[in-house]
Amino acid sequence: MSSTPAADPVRDWAESGIASLTGRLDGPPLIPPGRAATTARELAAWIGSATAGSVQLDGARLLSERAAFTGARRAGATSVGGACRLLPTADGWAAVSCARPDDPLLLGALVGADIGDDPWPAVTSWLAGHTGADLAERVELLGIAGGPVAPPDGLPPVPLAPRSVEGALVVDFSALWAGPLCAHLLGLAGARVVKVETPHRPDGARRGNADFYRLLHGGHESIVLDPSDDTQRRELAAVVAAADIVIEASRPRALAGFGLDAEQFVADGGTWVSITAHGRGSQRIGFGDDVAATAGLLASDATGPVFVGDAFADPLTGLTAAALALSAPADDPGALWDISMSSVVAATLNSPSFPAPQPYRRRDGWWVDAPSGTVAIAEPRRREPDGAAPESGRDTTGLLTELGIRR
């Protein structure tokens, strides 16, 4: 999306709350490179226009709002959430996450050693003796979230002519932040959102901050179906067939393994929103922090690179996905939006980069001199949840009965 003449990326970064989450805890906040906060504001403005003003949000503020709920702070080369690290390789830098229960075992396989309770000393030592290419090969093989800092080729799709989603049925298979933010925005635009989970793999965000989960899921419905059960597998297919929009945030083979065919859904006129770390053709996995870092979005100080914001690729991708879901397909009645989180982030770094101004301290906080004037470095700010988030599976019987799937 093109910049307007009045765009001021420095001001947008400062007002977004992201600058306050970027840097070292004992140092100043930092202004990141690129124009991602400006892009977020442009996307939200487009969504506002596409929904005739029914969705009025500051896209830049959405980028940092999870930290307003969790109280997380900037932590330099450790991610705000604590699960990802920036570490030097033999020929550059890499980001590696250890967020899932199985990740210590996988990281032990990466380094070829028993790493005990703390994986980071062994991982740090291994990376120092290996190249980014070595790491890239092994993380894909082992299913580790991370990789070398190496911005991807290609650009994400861009929104087209807007369409209404009032009353549309959105079936949301996503978890964590990017997909649920997309679903939340579509819900604000008037869509009916049904969250789908399986008995053995509920959304991990349910274990996180309850108020933030409620913000993204308030007013939605929840069903739980087990695709390993033949009857429930057929019911799941019938729910998808009834949908206007499907949101997935996993590698395509996951839902294909449930017997769901994205291409056929699109051929039948539906919209399939596919959010992946690195594109539908990649087998790499990733989370918001490691994806943003490996895509090249890093700030730095005299000590070295630091993370930008909190799981930054997630909210920026969620905004992008919502705008695409609100777009009318160009030619065919259906659309499959292949949204690579890494490409979404990297696209904001394509403009010429200039040295970022340094924030300075005043008695009332941190400030920075932007092209449009002096601006305060804002802290993350929360929106208040509207409505309760459904308990997992609360609406299963009711929805299946309403749709005529279960009697």
Q: Identity (one letter) of the amino acid at 3?
A: S
Confirm if 47 and 322 have CB atoms less than 8 A apart.
yes
**pLDDT per residue as tens digits for the range 179-237:** 999 999 999 999 999 999 999 989 999 999 999 999 999 999 999 999 999 999 999 99
For the stretch 140-183, pLDDT in tens is: 999 999 999 999 988 899 988 999 999 999 999 999 999 999 99
**In this predicted model, what pLDDT tens digit does every residue of 97-156 receive, in sequence order?**
999 999 999 999 999 998 888 999 999 999 999 999 999 999 999 999 999 999 998 889
Q: For tokens 């996988």, what's the residue? A: 106
- Residue 77 predicted with pLDDT over 50: yes
Q: What confidence category does residue 355 fall into, taking pLDDT thresholds of 50, 70 and 90?
A: confident
The answer to whether the beta carbons of residues 378 and 15 sit under 8 Å apart is yes
d(CA 314, CA 197): 20
Please compute the mean of the pLDDT values over residues 79-86 and round it to a whole number.
Answer: 98
Question: Where does the chain hold its CATH 3.40.50.10540 domain(s)?
Answer: 9-73+162-369+373-399
Q: Are 193 and 221 in contact (CB under 8 A)?
A: yes
Helix spans in 71-117 (H): 103-111
Q: Which residues of 64-93 are buried (b: 16+ CB within 10 A; e: fewer)?
A: bbbbbbbebebbbbbbbbebbbbbebeeeb
How far, in Å, CA of 105 to CA of 108, rounded? Answer: 5
The answer to whether residue 88 scores a pLDDT higher than 60 is yes
Backbone angles phi, psi at 354, to 5 degrees: -120, 155
Pairing of strands 93-97, 146-148: antiparallel
Output DSSP code: residue 152: P
Q: State how far the alpha carbon of 260 is from the alpha carbons of 199, 234, 266, 276, in Å.
A: 18, 10, 12, 17
364 Rama class: left (phi>0) / alpha (psi -120 to 50) / beta: alpha
> With 50 as the cut, is the pLDDT of residue 2 above it?
no
User: What superfamily would CATH give domain 9-73+162-369+373-399?
Assistant: Crotonobetainyl-coa:carnitine coa-transferase; domain 1 (3.40.50.10540)
Does the pLDDT at position 351 exceed 90? no
State the residue for tokens 């919502």.
322
Q: How far apart are CA 303 and CA 24, in angstroms?
A: 10
Confidence bin at 353 (pLDDT 50/70/90): low
C-beta separation of 273 from 182 below 8 A: yes
More confident: 32 or 3: 32
pLDDT tier for residue 332 given thresholds of 50, 70 and 90: confident
Q: What is the pLDDT of residue 6?
A: 66
- Write down the mean pLDDT value for the chain: 95
Q: What is the pLDDT of residues 265-285, one digit of tens each?
A: 999 999 999 999 999 999 999
DSSP codes joined into one string, 345-375: HHGGG-SPP-PPPPPEEETTEEEEEETTEEE
The Cα–Cα gap between 220 and 195 comes to 7
